[in-house]
Amino acid sequence: MVSRRLLFFLGALLLAGLLLSGCGKKDSGTAGEVTVPPAGQVTRPECYQDIYGVYNGRIDNNFIEIKVDQGQAFPGGNEATAFLLPVEIGEGAAADLKAGDRVKLNCFKNSSDQWQITSLKEEKEAGSSKDVPALGEGDFSVESGQRSVKLGDSDRDVNLKEIFGEALSESVVRLGADAGTLAGSYVKQRVYDGIELGLISGRGSGGPFYVDTMHITGGAHATARGVMVGDSYTRILELYPAKSGEEPAKEDPRNRSYSYASVNEGEGMLLSFEVRDGVIVSITLQVEHP
């Protein structure tokens, strides 16, 4: 009996040792890491995806120069950097690149301590599609569900509660003399889930009030062309014309404002998108008064 218990105890110790040994091997490195024998030192390849910048041109047959946009994870942002361009990539879509073109790339640091490109393509400018129509009056509206509200709509003609739900807050102020042509007008601010409305009345606090601004911050509210907060900035490039205010053409497309203006009956209308890190964070529609 004692012998059998001793054998059982020794077997349990052996099993525990094997389990501990297996755990030690599993924890010695993670997926995608390379273990360098015999020292056992673990190294992780330094690689980056979806990096944006401006193509400056070729340095020689093997290297090209790109000025990487500032504010990205890639080290040396806003500086000209040399990249090794493999032949197969250089003969592909990258063959037609010209100095000043915006590009998007993936890269890693190779064993020779060089930045090597694994993917490179041109970033198209806004409205590059030939089928993108010019903005019309209908573009200065917001769609929510199956209903829409456009700049200039009266709160007596459109049931805002049915469209946007119950207002979270509301305030009314009378504009002073410093408001220029709008002096004496009443402005009503209404905050709904994901959207804020500014309405204006020149006839007193009793209204009617007309939609003067719409500021989308979230929710299921979209522009007339279906763009929403949270969408990629590429939706703007695909659905809106190339002319986008007076912003520099080579400005970082992932961190900027895209603005579109129109004139209707003497008053200007403005549609603008605020983009941060490639994502639309807010959309504003407003009447620009003389």
Residue 4 in any domain: the answer is no
Backbone torsions φ then ψ of 82, nearest 5 degrees: -85, 135
Q: How many domains does the chain have?
A: 2
pTM of the model: 0.63
Residue 251 in any domain: the answer is yes
116/158 same-domain check: no
108/169 same-domain check: no
Where b means 16+ CB within 10 Å and e means fewer, 69-87 reads beebebeebeeebebbbee
DSSP-assigned beta bridge partners for residue 141: 150
What is the extent of the structural domain holding 243?
A: 137-288
Structure-token pair, residue 184: 């004496």
112/202 same-domain check: no
Q: Are 190 and 256 in contact (CB under 8 A)?
A: no
- Give the pLDDT score at 169: 97
- Give the pLDDT score at 154: 96
Q: How far apart are CA 17 and CA 24, in angstroms?
A: 11
Residue 6 in any domain: the answer is no
Query: In CATH, what number is assigned to the domain containing residue 80?
Result: 2.40.50.140
Q: Give, for 15, the enclosing helix (H) or strand (E).
A: helix 2-26
180/276 same-domain check: yes
Residue 87 in any domain: the answer is yes
172/111 same-domain check: no
76/217 same-domain check: no
151/284 same-domain check: yes
What SS3 class is residue 161?
Answer: helix
Domain end residue (candidates: 90, 122, 154): 122
Q: pLDDT tens for the chain, 290 residues: list them.
A: 545 554 555 555 554 454 444 433 333 333 334 334 444 444 456 899 888 888 999 999 999 999 988 767 788 777 899 999 999 888 876 788 999 888 989 999 999 999 999 999 988 665 555 568 888 889 999 999 889 999 999 999 999 999 999 999 999 999 988 877 888 899 999 999 999 999 999 877 778 999 999 999 998 999 999 999 999 888 898 898 875 444 444 567 788 899 999 865 556 999 999 999 889 999 999 999 87
Helices (H) and strands (E) in the chain, counts: 4, 17
Domain end residue (candidates: 122, 150, 182): 122
Q: How far apart are CA 118 and CA 239, in angstroms?
A: 29
111/234 same-domain check: no
